[in-house]
Amino acid sequence: MTHPNACAVLFVDDEPLVLQGLKRMLRGEREAWTMRFAASGREALSLLEREAFDALVTDLRMPGMDGEQLLNTVKERHPHMVRIVLSGEMSQSSGFKTVRSAHRYLAKPCDAEALKSVLSQALALRRWADDHRLKELLARLESLPSLPEHYAELLAEIQAPNSSFRRVGDLIARDVGMTAKILHIVNSAFFGLARRILNPQDAVAMLGYETLKGLVLSTNIFSQFDAKRVRCLDLKALWQHSMNTGLFARTISVGEKLPRTAQDEAFTAGVLHDVGKLILAHNFPEIYADVIMRSRAHRRPAVELEQECFEASHAELGAYLLGLWGIGEEVVDAIAYHQRPPRTSVPSRVVAVVYAANALEHMLSGTPGDEAAAAVDPEILKQLNVTERFAAWEGTCRGIRSRETERV
């Protein structure tokens, strides 16, 4: 029997054998999820009129209303739903196709565990969306940025059976701007390499897939926004702050001998932690410009003024978006709590590292207007159990920043 609070998922595919396979594959989740199956886009919309769903999983190529049309309609009528593509067109052939209305992409054939993992992760976002403050803010947004096409293509290549550093590097090399940024980062003082990396293939091997994904996603997200529309933000300065925060977080986590997984998570959370600011500035340009102006004039953290204006902050909003895109829970939590970790539970080491890295970058950059944001709360350091380590982290990051300045 399905639990009354179970998440509801709608699967759409015009192939009966595919729907039967999905039913068999997910039989063990019947108590956790309410599942419905539709053989066409029209049938899916009819079900959506009668029942509420948390997620949609659809094929792309279908007769009549295809998957892209269905996703666009669902995005307009049911913006709260998680939208996932499950299609053979996600392969690395010339037929690779991305759909701007989708949050996630999965390639056919997809094994049961991969599908369950993606759905479980996406549906876990209800913990954020069920927060009435964030829910009200999401309802006010005109738009959320789409998963960048280049990033989706990169993920497909990384997940391909014959994936290699060379093939991923070749994909990066197609974007001159991306290549330049990645080579700049990998050759920075933060990595302290004995030799200079000259091509994206070697850079991929040096960075590893997880760090590369965070870097590519951050760069792609920033490129989606029109500088005139978000003119209250200095995009170049915000991107540099984000990169430095990610590199500080990586430096600290390496020094603390955290597992490689945690190092990658800290870097990714660092480079993505302020994505929510871009979303607020894009959707509410005048209001957010006033938030920034008052923050600087009164030396108050912008996050406090965000709470007053929107009843939710850029940290929570950014965490929700990245969770939709499939970024891991540790990264999502570190982004959500990079300004103020939760007092109701013991935060992870990644949360602590990203909080410290963000504070240190503000402190060491000395950018006008950052005085309030740069303040480090001793109570938070105590709560995170890093009071004794913070001074050492500051010394390490200050030294690396000085060496990087000398190299420029």
Encode pLDDT of 174-233 as tens digits. Answer: 888 889 989 988 888 787 777 889 999 999 998 899 999 999 999 888 888 888 888 889
φ/ψ (deg, to 5) at 390: -60, -45
Determine the Cα–Cα distance for residues 172 and 154; give it in Å rounded to an integer. 8
pLDDT at 3 exceeding the cut of 60: no
Is 157:143 a contact under the CB 8 Å cutoff?
Answer: no
- Dihedral Cα 270, 203, 153, 317, nearest 10 deg: 0
Mean pLDDT: which of 120-134, 142-156, 260-274, 345-359 is highest? 260-274
For helices 209-223 and 165-173, give the axis angle rounded to 10 degrees. 20
Burial-class residue 242 by CB neighbours within 10 Å (0-12, 13-18, 19+): buried
pLDDT at 302 exceeding the cut of 90: no
Encode pLDDT of 337-371 as tens digits. Answer: 998 888 766 778 999 999 999 999 988 887 655 55
Question: Which pLDDT score, from 0 to 100, does residue 243 have?
Answer: 92
Q: How confident is the model at residue 290 (pLDDT cuts 50, 70, 90)?
A: very high
Encode pLDDT of 179-190 as tens digits. Answer: 998 998 888 878
Q: What region, left, alpha or beta, does residue 369 occupy, with left being phi > 0 and alpha being psi -120 to 50 degrees? A: left
Q: How confident is the model at residue 93 (pLDDT cuts 50, 70, 90)?
A: very low
Count Cα neighbours of 311 within 13 Å in the Cβ-side half-sphere.
10
Q: Tell me where in the chain the CATH 1.10.3210.10 domain(s) lie.
A: 226-407
Q: Tell me where in the chain the CATH 3.40.50.2300 domain(s) lie.
A: 7-123
CATH 3.40.50.150 fits 226-407, yes or no: no
pLDDT at 61 exceeding the cut of 80: yes
φ/ψ (deg, to 5) at 38: -125, 145
Question: Which pLDDT score, from 0 to 100, does residue 95 have?
Answer: 40
Q: Give 8's strand partners.
A: 34
**CATH homologous superfamily of domain 7-123?**
Response regulator (3.40.50.2300)
Pairing of strands 55-58, 33-38: unpaired
Q: Give 9's strand partners.
A: 35, 55
State both tokens at 34: 């309410």
Question: Which pLDDT score, from 0 to 100, does residue 239 have?
Answer: 92
**Whole-structure pTM value:** 0.80
Question: Which pLDDT score, from 0 to 100, does residue 5 have?
Answer: 54
Question: Which pLDDT score, from 0 to 100, does residue 404 have?
Answer: 74
